[in-house]
C-alpha cells in the first residue's frame, strides 16, 4: 500500500479555523488539486507507455504470448517499490523546501506511473476507464465533504490510519495465503479506508493552510506533500475499486 505521507505540519483543529471564504485558501487548495490532476495524467501516460511499448514493457513485466500479464521482472519490482525509498530519502536527506518536496512528488508520481502498466495488461480498457470515472466522482465528492465540514475529523483520521496499518498487514499475509475471500475483504476495507482518508486529508490540508499563516515557503512544501497524500488516496481508491469491479482480459 502506498500511503507515504502523513506528517506535514500538525494543523489547528477544525473549530479553530476561520471558515469564511478565503481567496488565499482557494488558491492554495487549487494548487494542490492541479498537482494531483497533473500527477494522475503523467502516471496514466507512463502506464500506457510501459504497457504498450514492447521494449519498455518487457523491461518491467513478464507477459505471455498473447500479451497477458504473468509477473514483474526484477527491474519492475525495483521500480514498484522505489517510491518508498524516494520519499524516505527526500524527507531525511534534504532540507524541506518547495523545490525538494516538488522533486519528491514528481519522482514518486513517475515511478508509480511506470509501475502501473500491469493494470492495462490485466484489466479490460473499458473497466479501467469506468473505474477511473467512478473514482474521480467519489474523490470530488469526498474531498468536498472534507473541505466544507465543520466537524473535526482528527479522531476519525487516526482511526483510519490504524485501519490502514491493519490493511497492509492483511495484504502481506494474503500474498502467502492467496485467499480469494480475504482478498475480497481487503478490497472492501481498502475502499472504505481510502474514501475516508480523502475527506480527512482534505480537511487537514485546509487546517494546515491556516496554521502556516502566510509562510510561502512552508505552504509550497505543504502543497507538494498535500498533493502527494491526495494522489495516493486517489490511486489506492482506484486500485481497490478496480480489483472489485474490473473485468479482466
Alpha carbon 169 to its chain's center: 18
* Each residue's pLDDT tens digit, 48-76: 999 999 999 999 999 988 878 999 999 99
Minimal CA–CA distance to 35: which of 165, 229, 218? 229
| 54, three cell numbers | 514492447
Whether the CB-CB separation of 232 and 5 falls below 8 Å is answered with yes
* Each residue's pLDDT tens digit, 211-244: 988 788 889 999 999 999 999 999 999 999 999 9
Residue ranges per structural domain of the chain = 20-245
21 to 24, 188, 246: CA distances (angstroms): 9, 36, 40
Report how far residue 178's alpha carbon sits from residue 20's, in angstroms, rounded to the nearest whole number.
51
pTM higher than the cut 0.95: no
The dihedral over CA atoms of 163, 7, 19, 197, expressed in degrees to the nearest 10, equals -30
Amino acid at each position: 500500500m502506498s500511503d507515504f505521507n502523513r506528517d506535514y505540519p500538525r494543523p489547528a483543529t477544525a473549530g479553530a479555523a476561520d471558515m469564511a471564504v478565503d481567496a488565499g485558501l482557494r488558491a492554495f487548495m487549487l494548487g494542490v488539486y492541479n498537482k494531483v490532476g497533473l500527477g494522475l495524467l503523467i502516471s496514466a501516460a507512463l502506464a500506457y507507455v510501459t504497457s504498450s511499448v514492447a521494449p519498455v514493457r518487457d523491461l518491467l513485466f513478464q507477459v505471455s504470448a498473447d500479451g497477458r500479464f504473468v509477473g514483474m521482472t526484477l527491474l519492475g519490482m525495483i521500480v514498484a517499490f522505489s517510491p518508498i525509498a524516494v520519499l524516505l530519502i527526500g524527507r531525511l536527506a534534504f532540507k524541506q523546501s518547495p523545490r525538494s518536496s516538488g522533486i519528491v512528488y514528481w519522482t514518486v508520481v513517475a515511478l508509480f506511473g511506470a509501475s502501473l502498466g500491469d493494470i492495462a495488461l490485466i484489466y479490460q480498457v473499458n473497466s479501467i476507464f469506468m473505474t477511473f470515472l467512478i473514482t474521480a466522482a467519489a474523490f470530488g465528492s469526498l474531498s468536498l465533504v472534507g473541505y466544507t465540514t465543520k466537524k473535526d475529523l482528527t479522531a476519525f483520521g487516526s482511526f483510519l490510519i490504524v485501519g490502514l496499518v491493519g490493511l497492509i498487514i492483511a495484504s502481506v499475509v494474503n500474498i502467502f495465503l492467496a485467499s480469494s475471500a480475504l482478498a475480497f475483504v481487503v478490497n472492501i476495507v481498502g475502499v472504505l479506508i481510502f474514501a475516508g482518508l480523502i475527506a480527512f486529508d482534505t480537511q487537514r490540508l485546509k487546517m494546515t493552510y491556516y496554521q502556516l499563516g502566510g509562510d510561502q515557503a512552508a505552504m509550497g512544501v505543504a502543497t507538494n506533500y498535500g498533493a502527494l497524500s491526495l494522489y495516493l488516496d486517489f490511486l489506492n481508491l482506484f486500485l481497490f475499486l478496480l480489483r472489485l469491479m474490473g473485468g479482466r482480459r
